[in-house]
Amino acid sequence: MTTSNNPINQQLLPTQRTQIKRLPKRGNYETQTIYNILDEALICHVGFIANNQPFVIPTAYGRVEDKLYIHGSPASRMLRTLTQGIEVCVTVTLLDGLVLARSAFHHSMNYRSVVIFGTANLVNDMEEKNAALQAFTEHVIPQRWKEIRQPNKQELQGTLVLSLLLNEASAKIRTGNPVDDEADYNLSVWAGVLPLQMVAGKAIDDERLIEGIEVPDYVQNYREARNL
């Protein structure tokens, strides 16, 4: 994969909007760090303004190089609003653990999040649209795309795809132990980190599945297939 616009290890320039002001040492502007978080998470929260009102809508997404793609029905209020070229804020959050301190005050969470700003562009080119949908599927479940019936012309036309350039974004990351007040380290309270992780369970066959079709390996070993 070429990354002509945002070579790996490049740093994005913090802007007024992306500069981490609160706890700046948690901020990170490396494209590779940002891409890794985007590639691991499964859903984003899209923020936009309609009628002077903020809306935050969860949706799936895909990434190709320095573009994030979201898609949906042309009947979606969110997508129709975004096609007007308005400002959007897309946030992706991975929760990695509970940080259990000795005092209530210092309880926290370990997390990795990305906040992206920009304006979404409607993807009209059928080839880019198809590539976006492929990225979308492969992002959620690698190796799936080649097995399934791919979109026909009617489905492609009936799907709205928006792209958002990943050139104004920042990551924020907390890791490690709780940080307690010095005096509290003497308290007889268990403290530490409880790691959290999104885990796949046992795949459930569709009730109309043709007899004899086995669960594919990339479904059975989902986290491994995603390199997690």
Task: Bin 111: left if φ > 0, else alpha if -120 < ψ < 50, else beta.
Answer: beta
Least separation in angstroms between residue 206's CB and its own copies is 4
Contact between 193 and its own copies by CB under 8 A: the answer reads: yes
Site map 127..156 versus its own copies, x via CB under 8 A: ------xx--x--xx--xx-xxxxx---x-
Residue 87 or 125 with smaller CB distance to its own copies: 87
Q: 149 with 50: CB under 8 angstroms?
A: no
Q: Which listed range, 3-11, 62-70, 108-116, 162-170, lies at the site for its own copies (CB under 8 A)?
A: 108-116
Task: By CB under 8 A, name the one of 9, 85, 87, 224 that touches its own copies.
Answer: 87
What is the residue whose two structure tokens read 């980190």?
A: 193
Contact between 224 and its own copies by CB under 8 A: the answer reads: no
* Closest to 56 in 3D by CA, of 64, 65, 47: 47
Contact between 15 and its own copies by CB under 8 A: the answer reads: no
Q: 64 with 128: CB under 8 angstroms?
A: no
Cα–Cα dist 114/92, whole Å: 5
Contact between 53 and its own copies by CB under 8 A: the answer reads: yes
Cα–Cα dist 117/180, whole Å: 34
Task: By CB under 8 A, name the one of 36, 76, 143, 167 that touches its own copies.
Answer: 76
Least separation in angstroms between residue 135's CB and its own copies is 11
Task: By CB under 8 A, name the one of 60, 122, 131, 165 that touches its own copies.
Answer: 60
Using a 10 angstrom Cβ sphere, with 0-12 exposed, 13-18 middle and 19 or more buried, the burial of residue 146 is: exposed
Contact between 1 and its own copies by CB under 8 A: the answer reads: no
Provide φ and ψ at 149, rounded to 5°. -75, 120
Contact between 184 and its own copies by CB under 8 A: the answer reads: yes
Contact between 45 and its own copies by CB under 8 A: the answer reads: yes
Write out the two tokens for 206: 């569709």
CA 74, 79, 80, 83 torsion: positive or negative? negative
Contact between 55 and its own copies by CB under 8 A: the answer reads: yes
Contact between 197 and its own copies by CB under 8 A: the answer reads: yes
